[in-house]
Amino acid sequence: MTAASLVRRSLRAIRRSPVSTVAPTMAIVGAGAGYALVEGLAAGFGIGAPTDVPIGWDAYRRVLNAPSFWPSAALTVWVGVASTVLAVTGAALVSWWWVTAPGRLRRVDLMLVQVTVSLPHIAWAVALAAVASQSGFIARLATAVGAIDRPAQFPVLVGDHAGLGIIVGLATKEVGFVTLAVLPLATRRVRSALAAASTLGASPAQRFRWVHLPAIAPALAPAAAAVFAYSIGSYELPRTLGTNRPRTLAVAAFDAFRDADLTRRADAFAISTLLAAIALLAAVGAAAPFVARARARMGPT
Amino acid sequence: MTARAGVRSLWTIALGIPVAVLVLQAVSIRWLYPQVIPHEFTLHAAGRTLGAAATRTAFFDGTLVSSAVTTVALLLAVPASKGILGLQRRHRVLVALALFLPSLLPPIGLAMGVGVALLNFGADGTFIGLVTAHLVVALPYAVAALTAARARHDTRLEAQAASLGASPTQTLFHVTIPALRSGLAVAATLTFVVSWSQYLLTVLAGTGHVITPTMLLVNAASGGNPAATATMALAVSLPTAVVGIVVPVADRGALLGERAT
């Protein structure tokens, strides 16, 4: 066999195999995200930095020793956990009500979810600020009915130190995302399982816990991991609905990245690598029960 | 009232009131506390915001970038979705994991990493670089939508067309595309909207050379002109309306889990 025919043959084999059709997508998405992750890791240690900085743990030491770090980290984790729990609980309940209610889902229901999901985060943040700030729409309604006299009496929901505005903003957006992820699993088969459970005397709470949740869990867990990663790492919404003291870590990383002092870039990457580590740990945690169950199903080898 | 109608009403209110307040803010002036409804209505601020040269350029550039992202995404996702269904199970899991990776990473780190990656390849600040950066996050949506659509339709049709003597091009245009019509509509709208809404990737990978409407809105949000900000927020949300109409209509069965079997 000549070299030319060997090349021709392998090219034909590659063209026929499904791998060739998937490869360009994998190259952009998988390699792009993977490269970004590795690049961030390296840049945090000062490798390939735009300025002459020593390679080592300097950036991590600076970041972790900054007095603003721990309040920011606490706020970030709190925002991430609270938004994720609210979004996941909301989606589990909404999908439950939708599956159990008689009749078919209407187009308008899907429209509401789709619009919620595809609204740009910054647009939603601007809208929420107009509604929930101390001189916003709700405060005006409260004034009109005589509940408060002046804006200062209205609770601080936008730019508050506990990140409530950020949590509300993220949770209300992401509940749509999670609902969309779990809806395809809330199928007819689940409906008949729910009906069977009901015939056997299961209470609604029991049906929710033992039929509905396990049915949607395979989509709920990865969606929760994605919402958590998004919540701790998003920028526009926390910047608009949050405060500067403390900032979320993502906002701190953005500011460090854009700092005129280029040595701060390494700090930005140190922060973003810490965030990525937290997010990936959460993803592993979300996947663990499924991996364990799959192993158990396969039995002892 | 059934639970479903309750969810529907609550969701409509939660979504509708903030959007309605934005509309009021966009078409009013001096809408000060404690006015519940503005006293003075004007389209002046809205007109000035939308008519500004910077806004028009941003809308043109943003549309160009997101259209390019959508086109490339569809060109890659149509064959990729077919390939994925042809893979062995464990390979398919690996591909799914890789496609899900960008969603599992915090956006700030992803954007900074992609930005520096483009810098290393000398593609920072270029149109192609920006489109590639957006593809990292937008392409998975196109692939997911088309894989779901393909899984629902009978792939034997393509084999049948081929066995009847149709060329690959004929099969593509006369069998595959018509069968995947709704999947393509869903993939295209989702990809467009994901690209359109990107802020971090556009700022950090585009390095300020391309200004999109979403970037203008983030800047406006930190300024002090409520009418201009509200106008931009509504204008930036326009593609959302398209998704809200196209996806539920095209993809009803898929989202309801009522798969054709």
Q: Cα-Cα-Cα-Cα dihedral of A227, B145, B99, B158, to 10°?
A: 160
Residue in chain A closest to B226 (alpha carbons) equals A130
Residue A11, pLDDT > 80, answer: no
**Degrees, nearest 5: CA angle A175-B70-B162:** 110
The gap between the terminal CA atoms of chain B, to the nearest Å, is 33
Mean pLDDT of A90-95: 92
A128 contacts B107? CB cut-off 8 A: no
Question: A32 in contact with B at a CB cutoff of 8 Å?
Answer: yes
Q: Cα-Cα-Cα-Cα dihedral of A218, A206, B259, A287, to 10°?
A: 0
Residue A1: the pLDDT is 59
Residue A272, pLDDT > 70, answer: yes
ipTM: 0.90
**Backbone phi and psi for residue B31, each to the nearest 5 degrees, phi listed first:** -85, 80
Take residue A67 and report the two structure tokens written for it.
Answer: 């007095």
Contact between A168 and A128 under an 8 Å Cβ cutoff? The reply is: yes
Q: Across the strands, what pairs with B41?
A: B28
Q: Which residues of B168-204 are buried (b: 16+ CB within 10 A; e: fewer)?
A: eeebeeebbeebbebbbbbbbbbbbbbbbbbbbbbbb
Q: How confident is the model at residue B178 (pLDDT cuts 50, 70, 90)?
A: confident
Burial of A294 (0-12, 13-18, 19+ CB in 10 A): exposed
Question: B204 in contact with A at a CB cutoff of 8 Å?
Answer: yes
Residue in chain B closest to A231 (alpha carbons) equals B106
Which of chain B's residues have a Cβ under 8 Å away from the Cβ of A186? Answer: 257
Residue range A103-119, pLDDT digits in tens: 667 778 888 888 898 89
Residue A49: the pLDDT is 66
Which of chain B's residues have a Cβ under 8 Å away from the Cβ of A181? Answer: none
Which of chain B's residues have a Cβ under 8 Å away from the Cβ of A14? Answer: none
Arithmetic mean of pLDDT over chain A: 87
Residue B119: the pLDDT is 87
Residue range B129-156, pLDDT digits in tens: 999 999 999 999 999 989 888 887 777 8
**DSSP characters over chain A:** --HHHHHHHHHHHHHHSHHHHHHHHHHHHHHHHHHHHHHHHHHHTTTT-SS---SSSHHHHHHHHSTTHHHHHHHHHHHHHHHHHHHHHHHHHHHHHHHHSSSPPPHHHHHHHHHHHHS-HHHHHHHHHHHHSTTSHHHHHHHHTTS-SSGGGS---SS-TT-HHHHHHHHHHHHHHHHHHHGGGS-HHHHHHHHHHHHTT--HHHHIIIIIHHHHHHHHHHHHHHHHHHHHH--HHHHHHS-STTPPHHHHHHHHHT-SSTTHHHHHHHHHHHHHHHHHHHHHHHHHHHHHHHHHHH---
Closest Cβ opposite residue A114 in set B133, B214, B243: B243
Residue B63: the pLDDT is 94
Cβ-proximal residues to B65 (8 Å cutoff; 6+ apart), any chain: B127, B130, B131, B134, B195, B202, B210, B212
Q: How far is CA A278 from CA A55, A64, A164, B76, B112, in A?
A: 23, 15, 21, 32, 17
Question: B100 in contact with A at a CB cutoff of 8 Å?
Answer: yes
Percent of chain A surpassing pLDDT 70: 94
Q: What three-state secondary structure class fits B118? A: helix
Take residue A34 and report the two structure tokens written for it.
Answer: 């993977």
Q: Taking the CB of residue A77, how many other CB atoms lie within 10 A of it?
A: 17
A283 contacts B199? CB cut-off 8 A: no
Closest Cβ opposite residue B236 in set A19, A123, A235: A123
Residue B258: the pLDDT is 46
Residue in chain B closest to A94 (alpha carbons) equals B7
B108 contacts A109? CB cut-off 8 A: no
Which of chain A's residues have a Cβ under 8 Å away from the Cβ of B98? Answer: 26, 29-30, 33-34
Residue range A204-242, pLDDT digits in tens: 899 999 999 999 998 899 999 999 999 999 999 999 999
Listed residue (A187, A219, A98) closest to B254, CA to CA: A187
Residue in chain B closest to A23 (alpha carbons) equals B80
Question: In whole angstroms, what is the distance from residue A30 CA to residue A27 CA?
Answer: 6
**Backbone phi and psi for residue B28, each to the nearest 5 degrees, phi listed first:** -130, 170
Question: A144 in contact with B at a CB cutoff of 8 Å?
Answer: yes
B8 contacts A109? CB cut-off 8 A: yes
User: What is the residue type of A180?
Assistant: L
Residue A297, pLDDT > 80, answer: no
Closest Cβ opposite residue A279 in set B18, B106, B221: B106
Residue B259: the pLDDT is 41
- HSE toward the beta carbon, residue B97, CA cutoff 13 A: 11
Arithmetic mean of pLDDT over chain B: 87
Listed residue (A116, A146, A91, A72) closest to B237, CA to CA: A116
Q: What three-state secondary structure class fits B197? A: helix
Rounded to a whole number of angstroms, the distance from the CA of B56 to the nearest CA of chain A is: 18
Listed residue (B223, B230, B187, B181) closest to B29, CA to CA: B230
Question: B15 in contact with A at a CB cutoff of 8 Å?
Answer: yes
Q: Cα-Cα-Cα-Cα dihedral of B237, B243, B248, B254, to 10°?
A: -130
Rounded to a whole number of angstroms, the distance from the CA of B101 to the nearest CA of chain A is: 7
Residue in chain B closest to A24 (alpha carbons) equals B76
Closest Cβ opposite residue B76 in set A25, A109, A250: A25
Greater confidence (B207 vs A4) lies with A4
Question: B155 in contact with A at a CB cutoff of 8 Å?
Answer: no
A to B CB pairs, distance under 8 Å: 295
Residue in chain B closest to A168 (alpha carbons) equals B14
Contact between A175 and A87 under an 8 Å Cβ cutoff? The reply is: yes
Any idea which of A94-98, A116-120, B250-254 has the lowest mean pLDDT?
A: B250-254
Greater confidence (A11 vs B177) lies with B177
Residue B62: the pLDDT is 93
Q: How confident is the model at residue B124 (pLDDT cuts 50, 70, 90)?
A: confident
Percent of chain A surpassing pLDDT 90: 41
**Degrees, nearest 5: CA angle B102-A235-A121:** 85
Residue range B107-123, pLDDT digits in tens: 999 999 998 888 888 88
Whole-prediction pTM value?
0.90
Which of chain B's residues have a Cβ under 8 Å away from the Cβ of A135? Answer: 32-33
- Tell me the three-class secondary structure of A192-236, residue by residue: HHHHHHHHCCCCHHHHHHHHHHHHHHHHHHHHHHHHHHHHHHCCH
Chain-centre distance of CA A281, in angstroms?
A: 13
Q: How confident is the model at residue A16 (pLDDT cuts 50, 70, 90)?
A: low
**Degrees, nearest 5: CA angle B132-B133-B135:** 60
Positive or negative, the Cα torsion across B45, B17, A126, B200?
A: negative
Listed residue (B250, B134, B123) closest to B183, CA to CA: B250
Cβ-proximal residues to B136 (8 Å cutoff; 6+ apart), any chain: A28, A29, A32, A33, A36, B102, B110, B114, B201
Residue A183: the pLDDT is 84
Closest Cβ opposite residue A111 in set B18, B244, B259: B244
Residue range B47-91, pLDDT digits in tens: 888 888 999 999 999 999 999 999 999 999 998 988 888 888 888
Which of chain A's residues have a Cβ under 8 Å away from the Cβ of B25? Answer: 130
Residue A2: the pLDDT is 76
Residues 47-66 of A with CB under 8 A from B: 48
Chain-centre distance of CA A204, in angstroms?
A: 30
Residue range A154-165, pLDDT digits in tens: 888 888 888 999
Percent of chain B surpassing pLDDT 70: 95
